[in-house]
Structure formats: C-alpha cells, structure tokens
Amino acid sequence: MRARNRLVAVARHLLLAAAAAAMAFPFYWMATSALKTNDEIWRFPPTFWPQDAMWSHFAEAWQAAPFARYMFNSVFVAGTIVVLQILNSGMMAYALTHMRFRLKGALTALVLVGYMVPATAVYLPGYVILGKLELLNTYAGLIVSNSVSVFSIFLIRQAFLQVSHELVEAGKIDGASHLRILWTIIVPLTRSSFAVLALIAFIEQYNNYFWPMLITKDPDLQLVSAGLRSFFVEGGAYGLKWPLIMAASAFTIAPLLALFLIGQRTIMRSVDLAAGASKG
C-alpha cells in the first residue's frame, strides 16, 4: 500500500508539473522572443533560446511609446476599481446573507438575473448615462462605470453563506454594529475570497480594452491594452517588429505577475485561517 500511495503521489506531482509547464510556456516563449531577432522568431524548427540575447529590445520598446503612462493608467484605474468593488460587494453580500428586510428574496433574484446579462448589453445605456453625467473621456468615467460588479457580489455572497449565522448573532448580542460585524468577523474569515476577487477584478480591469476605448478618446487616458494596440500599429510596424512587440507585452504584464505572487500567499494563509476557525 505504501508503494502504491507513493506511486500515486509521484504521478500526481508529475501531472501537476506538466500542467504548470504547459501554462508557463507561453510566458517563457514571449520573454525569449523579445530577446531574438525577427529571423529567429520565424525560424523553423524554432529555437528556444536566442543565439545572442538582445536585451536592448526592452529599452527600445519602452522608449518607443509612453508605456509608463499606459501602465500608470491601468494600475491606477484597476486598483481604484478593486477597492470600490470590495467595499460594495462586501456590504451588498452582507445585506443579502445576514440581514433581514422586505423584498430580500426579490433583490437576491435580481442580482442573480443581472449576473446572466452579458456586459456588452449595457454598453449603450452606460455610454448614454456617462454622457449625461459628463464623465466621458475622464478617469472618473472609467472608474465609476466599473465600481459595481454583479460577479463580485455573487462571489462574496457565496463566501458569506459559508459563515455561521451564530457568529453574527453573537456580535449583535455584544452590541456590535453591522459594519463592525462585517469588517471584524466576516471579512477575516472570508479573506481568501476577497483575495480572489481582487485578483480577478484587477486582471480584468488592467486588461480591459473595448469599454475604455469606447468612452475615452484622449491618448493620455489609454490603458495598457489600448496602448499595446497602438504600439503594434506604430512602433511594431503592424507586426514587422515582433521582438519589440514581445518585449512590450512582457514588461506590461509584470504588475499582474507580481500581484499574483502576492495574492497567492494571501489566499493560502486565509484558507488555513478559515480551516482553523471552522475546527475551533
């Protein structure tokens, strides 16, 4: 039995390692392609490492377009949206799970129905509303239009449903307000779900392309995706300079990789904390 269990564990680890390698390979190929020449990129059979690494491609791509501005816009807009979505979804999910009020079932059903509505279906009314509020072509328009997410509310609601209602009742008996119960009792127990929400929301907004392009025309407000598209047309010469395009793509995803590494630790610690709390 020991030998069999060890064999199963080895097979499982090999399978996970193969899956991890398959998912990491596109990032490796992008990074190494930034160091190659155009001829090496199109060579067959392909080379997995350049003959002479062209590190200057990163500096050349960085200077060819205002990527610092694009990345600042994306980080600022995405970060602000994440904070607002965490606040909104936390309070909304708490109301839907641990508060009693009339039409609670109808409001929950409305949230679930809204979750099934595609985002493109609200682009036109959203554009009209932002136009009447004079928020087109502004940071405020980019942020306000994405500050509430039905997916975020649904995700946090599902997490809050796993929290024992007796904890909430104990907080009420001790005289704690709803906000204090939410942020001192429920949020620490569901921190992993908030970490997942932050990761998903940040990646989605950081890479958002169509909606920001629709409501902004100022080049200084372009996010990373739109900036890469502009660079592909201009600096990348419509795909004729693939090393520069790959270099630009590599350093623009650096914030996402850093956030994932930080968020991964938070998720694992929060899972352990939630497991310990449930056993206690």
Q: Is 133 helix (H, G, I), strand (E, B) or coil?
A: coil
Residue 273 has pLDDT above 90, yes or no: no
Q: For position 39, what pLDDT does the model report?
A: 84
Calculate mean pLDDT across residues 141-151.
91
Query: What's the DSSP call for residue 145?
Result: T
Residue 143 has pLDDT above 60, yes or no: yes
Beta carbons of 126 and 136 less than 8 angstroms apart: no
Share of the chain above pLDDT 90, in %: 29
pTM: 0.83
Q: How confident is the model at residue 276 (pLDDT cuts 50, 70, 90)?
A: very low
The whole-chain average pLDDT of the chain stands at 86
Residue 257: C-alpha distances to residues 60, 151, 241 (Å): 22, 23, 25
Beta carbons of 245 and 231 less than 8 angstroms apart: yes
Q: How confident is the model at residue 172 (pLDDT cuts 50, 70, 90)?
A: confident
Q: For position 79, what pLDDT does the model report?
A: 94
Higher per-residue confidence, 261 vs 151: 151
Higher per-residue confidence, 177 vs 275: 177
What would the pLDDT profile of 108-137 be if each residue is shown by its tens digit? 888 888 888 888 888 999 999 999 999 999
Cα(133)–Cα(142) distance, integer angstroms: 13
Calculate mean pLDDT across residues 151-157.
90
